[in-house]
Amino acid sequence: MDQESIYNQILSGHRKAGKHYAFNDDHDPHRPADFWFQHSPEGLILFVVFFTQACRWSRCLGCNLPGRMSSRHVSYKAIMAQIDNLFNQPEIVRQYAAIHKIIVSNNGSILDQATFSSTAFMYLMAKVNLHLPNLAVFALETRPEFVEFAELEFIARALAEGDTPTELELAIGFEAFDEHVRNQFFDKGLSFEGFEKLVRLAAPYNYRIKTYFMQKPVPQMTDAEAVRDIERAIDYLHGMAGRYGIRINMHLNPTYAARGTLLEESFQKGQFTAPLLSDVARAVRHARDKALSVFIGLSDEGLAVEGGSFLRPADAQWVQRLEQFNRTQDYAFLES
């Protein structure tokens, strides 16, 4: 696909979803969009978002992540410069040996070769092996349609050359369990069959699966329905983990009214409020003694419209407790 067609594909998704945010075309392409650390019971996680051309799907209802990216192609040389920049950040250099897991994102699909160059990807692998001697998990965010198993085998082989064994994790956006909500209201374009095919292919290689869910992703859901949707997702993932013997993590993001999307309009009209963190805790309690781990996303990355975030001043204690849960997987922190 040529550059103009990819650009038009992004704009067409953007228009279809009624979005009106601008792209971040002025960002310095030699610096990553963002990076931060997370803490899990397994160890320190480095989350990096590379700055590339935006997600080609771009049409999911409440998502303005493509707005932090470029509408135009970002060259492999610029992405390689971002990789150098990342591995030279003093706070990362200090923690090279402590990093247990790296999650690689471009707010879209790392395995989409049209937006994340293959040359830059190989350079990233080399840097990971050179600088992260204790890396146990290498996670890639991608839509399932870009997963090619020959490529994953190559990545796994390259990872095996590192100083310690490193598992590969595929991080897939699921967003809502209910298929109608997911594909009609949210326009995710993901079927159960598509997800299960990926799990079947990943299982023999022992690749891990991470699934992103959103609590209350659309205005058509009540708070109680949103909790129930996550509980059903937990039961489903528990069943998949048992059936295929794979390790599954649910990454649960409470939804916020993202600037420049139809969700912002619903929020302004009083048709949508972000979920309460006490309801997020309630939903996650359902995963106790199930065959999956859960991580609760507690940042709106500054992308929420004013008053539209789940981070309410009165909920500071809940934030602390959910962070403690993330670090420990101790369900006592989720009790009300």
- Residues 141 and 127: their CA atoms lie apart, in Å, by 18
129 versus 175: smaller Cβ distance to ligand SF4:
175
Task: Report in angstroms how near the CB of residue 18 gets to ligand SF4 at its nearest.
Answer: 13
52 versus 58: smaller Cβ distance to ligand SF4:
58
Question: How many CB atoms are closer than 10 A to CB 264?
Answer: 22
193 versus 289: smaller Cβ distance to ligand SF4:
193
Task: Report in angstroms how near the CB of residue 28 gets to ligand SF4 at its nearest.
Answer: 21
11 versus 291: smaller Cβ distance to ligand SF4:
11
Task: Report in angstroms how near the CB of residue 321 gets to ligand SF4 at its nearest.
Answer: 27
Contact call for residues 256 and 302 (beta carbons, < 8 A): no
- Output the six-digit token pair for 69: 């990216």
- Residues 229 and 213: their CA atoms lie apart, in Å, by 10
Task: Report in angstroms how near the CB of residue 190 gets to ligand SF4 at its nearest.
Answer: 9
- Residues 140 and 145: their CA atoms lie apart, in Å, by 13
Helices (H), 203-303: 223-244, 262-268, 277-285
29 versus 108: smaller Cβ distance to ligand SF4:
108
Task: Report in angstroms how near the CB of residue 143 gets to ligand SF4 at its nearest.
Answer: 6
- Residues 219 and 268: their CA atoms lie apart, in Å, by 12
DSSP 112: -
E strand segments, 146-299: 167-175, 208-215, 248-254, 293-296
145 versus 315: smaller Cβ distance to ligand SF4:
145
Task: Calculate the alpha carbon distances from 169 to 9, 92, 250 in Å.
Answer: 28, 21, 12
60 versus 281: smaller Cβ distance to ligand SF4:
60
E strand segments, 59-128: 99-105
Task: Report in angstroms how near the CB of residue 14 gets to ligand SF4 at its nearest.
Answer: 9
- Output the six-digit token pair for 99: 């990093």
Task: Report in angstroms how near the CB of residue 116 gets to ligand SF4 at its nearest.
Answer: 13
246 versus 303: smaller Cβ distance to ligand SF4:
303
From the list 29, 53, 26, the residue with the least C-alpha distance to 114 is 53
Task: Report in angstroms how near the CB of residue 13 gets to ligand SF4 at its nearest.
Answer: 7
Task: Report in angstroms how near the CB of residue 189 gets to ligand SF4 at its nearest.
Answer: 8
153 versus 179: smaller Cβ distance to ligand SF4:
179
**DSSP-assigned beta bridge partners for residue 304:** 258
Binding site for ligand SF4 (CB under 6 A): 55, 57-58, 60, 63, 65-66, 107-108, 143, 173
What b/e sequence results for 127-161 when a residue is b if at least 16 CB atoms lie within 10 Å of its CB, and e otherwise?
A: ebbebbeebbbbbbbbbbebbeeeebeebbebbee
